Amino acid sequence: MGNHIHPSVFKVSQKLRSGRLNQTPKLVWFTGLSGSGKSTLANAVETRLFDNGFLTYLLDGDNVRAGLNKDLGFTEKDRIENIRRIAEVSNLFLDAGLLVFSAFISPYRSERAMIAELVGNENFIEVFVDCPLEICEERDVKGLYQKARAGEIKNFTGIDSPYEAPINPDVHIRSDQEELKESTEKVIFSIIDLISYDL
């Protein structure tokens, strides 16, 4: 941080916002290959919790790249910057007292560790949406794997760019073996005590 930057401290704190919302803000980070079902699961979990009174926000790869990060490409450097910006936005939402869901490939362990450090390890919940590459390719609803195999997309995770699976995720989902309802309940069961407001 430069010598001329001095963040302000305001009277309305995260604790006050959390108390008003009656929830404990957390960042629930869904990581996995393209086509693994990250966004579908994040959407299902958010919907269930929102319907049960939690105030939430969902960040998704394509949506963020359509606006905030539309200036970034898919080189390793740009992908890391993409995740860094998302982490900063997530942190602002946490400060607002929200329960944040982020669904991004985020292929590198180091960048996921950076996110956890930025928002605080106690506020970061890692959900690994695990699905074999061949199943993700079979799904390929956006046609991205086909384009990557044809050389039309470079640096595509799982094809010509690596994915580093979480070693010890907070929640491990096997989306090729579980129904969406089962996976949704597994995530909610794992986080519900963490997001309930604690005086």
Which structural domain range is residue 28 located in?
14-132+163-192
CB 76 within 8 A of CB 156: no
Domain count, the chain: 1
Burial 35-74 (b: 16+ CB within 10 A, else e): bbbbbbbbbbbbebbeeeebbbbbbbbeebbeeebeebee
Could you tell me where the beta strands, DSSP code E, fall in 122-170?
A: 124-130
Q: In this structure, is residue 178 part of a structural domain?
A: yes
Q: In this structure, is residue 91 part of a structural domain?
A: yes
Active site residues: 106
pTM of the model as a whole: 0.89
Which tens digit of pLDDT belongs to each residue from 36-77? 999 999 999 999 999 999 999 999 877 777 777 788 877 778
Q: In this structure, is residue 2 part of a structural domain?
A: no
- Candidates 139, 74, 60, 138; CA nearest to 104 is 60
Q: In this structure, is residue 7 part of a structural domain?
A: no
Q: What is the CATH number of the domain that holds 110?
A: 3.40.50.300
**Model pLDDT, residue 77:** 85
Q: In this structure, is residue 3 part of a structural domain?
A: no
10-14, 88-92, 108-112, 157-161 — which is least confidently predicted?
A: 10-14
Q: In this structure, is residue 126 part of a structural domain?
A: yes
2-11, 71-80, 99-108, 173-182 — which is least confidently predicted?
A: 2-11
Q: In this structure, is residue 19 part of a structural domain?
A: yes
The mean pLDDT of 90-119, rounded to a whole number, is: 93
Which tens digit of pLDDT belongs to each residue from 129-177? 999 999 999 888 788 888 888 888 888 888 888 899 999 999 999 999 9
Q: In this structure, is residue 140 part of a structural domain?
A: no
